[in-house]
């Protein structure tokens, strides 16, 4: 009910102060930003779950490899033991056969006894041979499984190293392109495999405004030119505000609206002045709730461009 009353009051105020077309555009724009924020939250949760699953699976693979190595060592020891017993039995049989030939004429009872012993040893030898063959086959399977696991882990580790190196190279490339703005409230850093480009509001916006200033526009265009050739990235543009409340009843009415609308203003400039794919980029407003320094409002008023690698190749490799 309060929302309906507020909208009615706002409509009356806007009817007297702002053209209906501009008001409708702002309403549509706020709706779009809300939908994009919902998508971002969903994708963010999915990304974090996938990253956690990735780390857990790598850990499980490492434990399996350790177990396979232990099993392979044990099977190797069994194989060597069985080989020694096999050789020992072969020597015994050879001795028995020699004795049999010597005693064959000494009596039927002795011959029958020796034949029984010989047959028993032959049966034991066949059983040992079968067991030895089974151990050899199991050992081969374990070795193949171990090699396959190690190969997958090596591929995963290489892919992760490649992505880390690519992220570092991109960070350096972005930092170089924006070097002239580093003393004007712009900072580039890499955290947890992501690149964060932070632009303080004083570089981009006048107080309470959602229109990007000329100097800030130049920085955004330089950044967009670097990113337009990177097709395997996911980019989130986050708006952040301080705790000061908005004055008046016109748009933006509060810090949520201000953070979202500033984010979309930044995205519009980046897309309009580059060949960036709109499907790679999302807008988000975080209002005043994620400050970088609770005691420094100027630092908290900022735009953060968060650049993440596409992890589809890693997930495909894990799910083989």
Q: 182 and 312 share a domain?
A: yes
In a domain, 252, yes or no: yes
HEC string of the chain? Answer: CHHHHHHHHHHHHHHHHCCHHHHHHHHHHHHHHHHHHHHHHHHHHHHHHHHHHHHHHHHHHHHHHHHHHHHHHHHHHHHHHHHHHHHHHHHHHHHHHHHHHHHCCCCHHHHHHHHHHHHHHHHHHHHHHHHHHHHHHHHHHHHHHHHHHHHHHHHHHHHHHHHHHHHHHHHHHHHHHCHHHHHHCEEEEEECCEEEEEEEHHHHECCCCCCECHHHHHHHHHHHHHHCCCCCEEEEEEEECCCCCCCCCCCCCCHHHHHHHHHHHHHHHHHHCCCCCHHHEEEEECCCCCCCCCCCHHHHCEEEEEEEECCHHHHHHHCC
What is the dihedral sign for C-alpha 173, 179, 184, 187?
positive
Q: Which residues pair with 121 in a beta bridge?
A: none
pLDDT of residue 193: 82
pLDDT of residue 314: 55
Q: 122 and 210 share a domain?
A: no
pLDDT of residue 156: 75
Q: 147 and 183 share a domain?
A: no
Q: 159 and 240 share a domain?
A: no
Q: Domain boundary at 103, 138, 164, which? A: 164
CA dist 289 and 278 (Å) reads: 27
For residue 284, give the CATH number of its domain: 3.30.1330.60
| Average pLDDT of adjacent 10-residue blocks, the chain of 320 residues | 48 53 80 81 76 77 83 85 87 83 73 85 89 87 82 77 80 88 89 91 92 95 94 93 84 92 97 96 96 93 92 60
Q: 219 and 293 share a domain?
A: yes
pLDDT of residue 13: 44
In a domain, 147, yes or no: yes
Tokens 């044990």, residue? 74
pLDDT of residue 10: 47
In a domain, 188, yes or no: yes
In a domain, 284, yes or no: yes
In a domain, 9, yes or no: no
In a domain, 93, yes or no: yes
Cβ(254)–Cβ(289) below 8 Å: no
Q: 280 and 188 share a domain?
A: yes
Tokens 């200033």, residue? 213
By CB neighbour count within 10 A (0-12 exposed, 13-18 middle, 19+ buried), where does 37 fall?
buried
Angle ∠(25,29,33) on CA atoms, nearest 5: 175
Phi, psi (deg, nearest 5) at residue 227: -85, -20
Q: 253 and 127 share a domain?
A: no
CA dist 164 and 187 (Å) reads: 19
Q: 251 and 283 share a domain?
A: yes
For the record, the structure tokens of 47 come out as 């990304």
CA dist 300 and 311 (Å) reads: 30
For the record, the structure tokens of 102 come out as 């010597």
pLDDT of residue 89: 81
Q: 215 and 241 share a domain?
A: yes
CA dist 25 and 34 (Å) reads: 14
In a domain, 3, yes or no: no
pLDDT of residue 5: 47
Q: 284 and 210 share a domain?
A: yes
What residue numbers bound the domain in which 149 lies? 61-164
In a domain, 239, yes or no: yes
Q: Domain boundary at 164, 195, 226, which? A: 164
Q: 157 and 182 share a domain?
A: no
Q: Domain boundary at 101, 134, 164, which? A: 164
Q: 186 and 40 share a domain?
A: yes
Number of domains in the chain: 2
């Amino acid at each position: 009910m309060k929302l309906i009353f507020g909208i009615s009051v706002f409509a009356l105020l806007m009817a007297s102060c702002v053209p209906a077309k501009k008001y409708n555009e702002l309403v549509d724009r706020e709706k779009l930003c809300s939908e994009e924020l919902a998508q971002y939250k969903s994708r963010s949760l999915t990304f974090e779950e996938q990253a956690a699953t990735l780390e857990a699976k790598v850990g499980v693979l490492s434990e399996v490899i350790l177990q396979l190595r232990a099993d392979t060592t044990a099977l190797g020891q069994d194989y060597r033991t069985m080989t020694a017993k096999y050789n020992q039995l072969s020597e015994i049989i050879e001795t028995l056969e020699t004795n049999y030939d010597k005693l064959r004429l000494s009596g039927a009872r002795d011959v029958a006894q020796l034949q029984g012993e010989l047959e028993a040893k032959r049966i034991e030898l066949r059983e040992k041979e079968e067991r030895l063959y089974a151990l050899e086959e199991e050992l081969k399977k374990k070795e193949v499984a171990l090699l396959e696991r190690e190969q997958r882990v090596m591929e995963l580790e290489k892919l992760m190293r490649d992505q880390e190196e690519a992220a570092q190279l991109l960070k350096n490339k972005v930092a170089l392109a924006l070097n002239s703005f580093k003393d004007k409230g712009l900072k580039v850093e890499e955290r947890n495999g992501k690149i964060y480009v932070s632009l303080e509001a004083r570089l981009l916006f006048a107080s309470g405004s959602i229109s990007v200033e000329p100097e800030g526009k130049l920085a955004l265009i330089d950044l967009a030119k670097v990113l337009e050739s990177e097709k395997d990235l996911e980019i989130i543009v986050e708006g952040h505000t301080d705790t000061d409340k908005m004055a008046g009843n016109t748009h933006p009415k509060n810090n949520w609206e201000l953070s979202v609308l500033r984010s979309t203003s930044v995205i519009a400039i980046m897309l309009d002045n580059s060949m960036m794919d709109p499907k790679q980029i999302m807008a988000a407003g975080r209002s005043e709730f994620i400050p970088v320094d609770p005691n420094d409002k100027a630092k908290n008023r900022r735009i953060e461009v968060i650049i993440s690698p596409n992890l589809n190749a890693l997930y495909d490799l894990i799910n083989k």
